[in-house]
Amino acid sequence: MRHAEAGDLWQIASEIVRLSEAARAGKAGREMLTGSTITVSSLGALGGIAATPIINPPEVAIVGVNKIVERPVVRSGRIEVAKMMNLSSSFDHRVVDGFDAAAFIQTVKNELEAPGRLPAGARCAAFRRRRVFQETGELSSSPAMTFAAVLEGEAAMPS
């Protein structure tokens, strides 16, 4: 998608859905799939829990969203089961300093772990999505909906 920095959360989500649907239908032309700075890829639908994503030149980064899995975690001295998800990322260090790349991923992680900081409208959509997940146990395989699953608290990012 182009000019994500100029859109609000809903505009970005809408454009991701539009592009994803076009790609799945085989109707996404080269002009729709090139010219971006970063790719967000979803490997979760394929069962991937970690990956080494390859940057699509001339982009400078790629972030892969992986499968949500149940893992043991320690909370307040007790072992509990939590739904967690890895982010896999690669950055072109000719353009992006490693410290800045790590800070970016840490910011994404922190935002995904705290859906309460989202605008009220996004939280409403999150609650609707959570209800669907609770009723069906299924998550969409699109990157937008995978991110939504995390934003809604259906998964947490590991530290």
> What residues are labeled active site?
93, 97
95-98 contact pairs (CB < 8 A, 24+): 95/60, 96/60, 96/61
Instruction: Name the residue type at position 76.
Output: S
Q: How many residues does the chain have?
A: 159
DSSP summary character for residue 15? H
Question: N- to C-terminal Cα distance for the chain?
Answer: 28
The sign of the dihedral angle between the CA atoms of 42, 154, 4, 110 is negative
